[in-house]
Each structure stands twice: as structure tokens, then as C-alpha cells.
Amino acid sequence: MWLELILASVLGFVIYWFVSRDKEETLPLEDGWWGPGSKPSAKEDESIRPFKVETSDEEIKDLHQRIDRFRASPPLEGSRFHYGFNSSYLKKVVSFWRNEFDWRKQVEILNQYPHFKTKIEGLDIHFIHVKPPQLPSGRTPKPLLMVHGWPGSFYEFYKIIPLLTDPKTHGLSDEHVFEVICPSIPGYGFSEASSKKGLNSVATARIFYKLMSRLGFQKFYIQGGDWGSLICTNIAQMVPKNIYSLTPLLGQRFGRFLGYTEKDLELLYPFKEKVFYNIMRESGYLHIQATKPDTVGCALNDSPVGLAAYILEKFSTWTKSEYRELEDGGLERKFSLEDLLTNIMIYWTTGTIVSSQRFYKENLGQGVMVHRHEGMKVFVPTGYSAFPSEILHAPEKWVKVKYPKLISYSYMERGGHFAAFEEPKLLAQDIRKFVSLAELQ
């Protein structure tokens, strides 16, 4: 165990070496054009337009016809989720999708919150904007930008939104009441995909900052997971003044000497399994999408069942790595099939799996530590929620290297990668805790 702790510390120090710039610098707030053709000379239409999710008989008929042509491959005996999505369980998912799932009903659920679109840097940017139904007298809501990642969508936030915008109705204190803005990353869901190469997290951060400015917010809170955490980090690096950023015995003694807590050791040990093997098992998709996303994307965009297997496998092992030991991947232990398939349908009906995967190539295709923002620290009040089943645990000492003004670090009781989708109440409580601390700064 000593050797593994030393390796963990070496990894931490390597991270520190890469991001050790102490200078408070900011990313330039530039401009861009990601629409087709050349940027027009006329000023961009900055109007905000209501949007509604819709479907049709033709869309549903085409989906059913493609599902009916699904060709299953039998799994290896006893393989469970070790080889990826178990095709025996996939048959159950497909049967439910074809015979019980009601997309029209889910469209109505999607439309329960107000949707909008606005043109920014040549792209139609989709977002939902949910205001509190009631406010205590003399109070104003706190604006909160929440950003999803891959393979998620704005729908991940549907269960946490009421806990933030209407806490009293849900048995929570109304000390902090939020209005929540959840945009779709360009090329995801209902946000238009870039026509040009290069739209990365920094460009997306700039677009989302412009969105918040267009909505009239000069200072606001931000929260994100997966790509959302990087996008929010870039916003904080871009406009730091406008942002609050929301992301055994001998061995234990040695670990504390290195700055690790007993909880850190529990989440990192055994290092070979919890870090090395876990990253190796769960990063194959990343290599594909960071190099040749369009190739696999063509297949996924043509097959709804293939798309579902590819995405839902992440909602199994990224929720809890031990779920790979189960025949059904543990999918329904934390999520309903209705919710999981609604997220799949957002990708399927918009045809955005290819453009969503390209985000990996734009951010990682040139290598690691080649972009300016990767070596920059974040000097805004920051909170970090450490969910125990996340793919890689980040001890507080690691997080502080990048975020020196870390004011809240929470070991969460349970939960994995899709925090807002999986454990909305826990995340809502931690957001409220962070805001209370941030207001004291």
C-alpha cells in the first residue's frame, strides 16, 4: 500500500507541476463565428425566441422500424457487463422502448420548463430558463448556470431544478432560491452544431457567458459536471470577477503525512484497481472520439439500438464501477428506463451524436497540456462535490492546486458521475452549502 500511496502522490505532484502557475491571469474574451460560410457583415440577431420540443408520427414510425430491424448478438456466458453492454439485457431495454416507452408523453415532460433559442457566434443556442414560482418578500433569486456533459443533456437537471427554484415546496429552506439556466452545448441536443473546426470548451464558455450577459446577468453562479465542469472552469478563467464556481493503519498514517484523509485513502486504494485499471477500462471511448469521432458516429447515428447501447453502458459503470458485475449493469437501480431513454431520444431525434463526439477531438485532439487554460489556475471562490463512485477520486489537495480559492470540499454520501441526474437532493444541498460560504467571502 505504501508504494501505491507514493504513486498517488507522484501523480498529484505531476498534476501540480503542470498547473503550477500562480499568476492571476485571465483568458481573453474574444469572438468567433461557427455558422456556415463567412461571417455576415450585418449585426447578429440577438433576440431570444421561445422554443418547444416537438415530435411527429413520421419520427416515431421511423424509430420503430429501425428498432424492429435490430440484430442482437448473443453475449458470452457469464460476461455480465465486462465486455460492454450485455445484449441479453439490451433486449429488455429495446422491448420496453418499442412497446411501452411513450415519446409523446416525454416530450410533454420536456416542455414543462420554458425553452428558448438565441443566435450566438453564428449558432442557434438552446437553453431552458426556470424562474422561481414564488419568492419570499423582498428577495431576488440567485442566477445559476448549470452545464451538462457527454453523454448527458440538459435533461439531467430536471429533477434538481425544482429543489433549487422552489425549495420550500420540497421541504427545504428558502434561504437560497435560484433561477436556473441550463443550455445545451453546441452540437448537443437542440443547440446547433458548429460548421467549422475548433469549437472547444473555451469557445463554448465564451458563448455561454454571452448568453448569461444577454439574459441580463452580470454576476452569477456556475455548476457543471464532465465537460460542464471544464466549461465552467473556462468561464471562471475568462471573467473571474463575475463568477462563483461550483466542481489500513500504517497506510493511513503515511497518507495523512502526505496530506490525504482516511476517506481519500478509501476512495483511492487499491491504487492499481481504483485508478489505473478503472481509467483503462473506462477510457476506450475517449480515444476513439478524440481521434476519429465521425467513423463510429456514422454507425450510431444510423442505429437507435446501437446508440442506446453505446450511451447507456456509461450510465451503468460510470454510476458505479461494480455494476459491471451485474447482468443488467445496475441501470435501473438509480434511473428509470423512461429517463434513460428520454436522454437517448434527445440525441436520436436531433441527430447530434456525431457532433457531440467531435467535442472530444476539438478539446483533446491536439494533445494534453497544449492549451493555455490547462496551465491556468482558477482564482474565484470554488466548491467541489466528491461523489464516491466517480471514475477517479480527486482529493482536496489535488483540487486546490487548480482552484486555490476552494472554500467548500464535500465527501458526498453516495453517487457517481451523473450527480444531478442520480442524486439531485444531495447535489442541491451541497450547492446551497457552497453558496452560504461564498456569500461570506
- Digit-coded pLDDT (tens) for 134-173: 888 888 999 999 999 999 999 999 999 999 999 999 998 8
Question: Does 427 score more than 80 pLDDT?
Answer: yes
Average pLDDT, the chain: 91
Distance CA 315, CA 329 (A): 9
Catalytic residues: 226, 360, 417
Q: What is the pLDDT of residue 258?
A: 52
User: Global pTM?
Assistant: 0.92
In terms of C-beta density within 10 A (0-12 exposed, 13-18 middle, 19 or more buried), how is residue 68 classed? Answer: exposed
- Digit-coded pLDDT (tens) for 108-129: 999 999 999 999 999 999 999 9
Q: What is the pLDDT of residue 260?
A: 85
Q: What is the pLDDT of residue 4?
A: 45
Domain boundaries, the chain: 2-17+30-37+44-438
- Digit-coded pLDDT (tens) for 347-394: 999 999 999 999 999 999 988 888 999 999 999 999 999 999 999 999
Percentage of the chain with pLDDT > 90? 82
Question: Does 255 score more than 90 pLDDT?
Answer: no
Question: Does 187 score more than 90 pLDDT?
Answer: yes
Q: What is the pLDDT of residue 2?
A: 37
Q: Is the dihedral of CA 229, 416, 100, 351 positive or negative?
A: positive
The helix-helix angle for 304-317 and 57-68 (nearest 10°) equals: 80
Q: What is the pLDDT of residue 259?
A: 67
Distance CA 130, CA 118 (A): 16
DSSP-assigned letters across all residues of 161-189:
HHHHHSTGGGT---SS-EEEEEEPPTTST
CA–CA distance from 183 to each of 55, 157, 215, 316, 355 (Å)? 20, 11, 12, 25, 16
Strand-pair partners of 224: 147
Fill in the DSSP letter of residue 9. Answer: H
Average pLDDT for residues 245-270, to the nearest whole number?
A: 64
Grade residue 177 by pLDDT with cuts at 50, 70 and 90. Answer: very high
Grade residue 198 by pLDDT with cuts at 50, 70 and 90. Answer: very high
Q: What is the pLDDT of residue 5?
A: 41
- Digit-coded pLDDT (tens) for 7-60: 444 455 445 444 455 778 999 999 999 999 999 999 999 999 999 999 999 999
Percentage of the chain with pLDDT > 70? 92
Nearest to 128 by CA among 186, 210, 183: 183
Cis peptide leading into residue 183 (ω within 30°) = no
**What fold is seen in the domain 2-17+30-37+44-438?**
Rossmann fold (3.40.50)
Question: Does 86 score more than 50 pLDDT?
Answer: yes
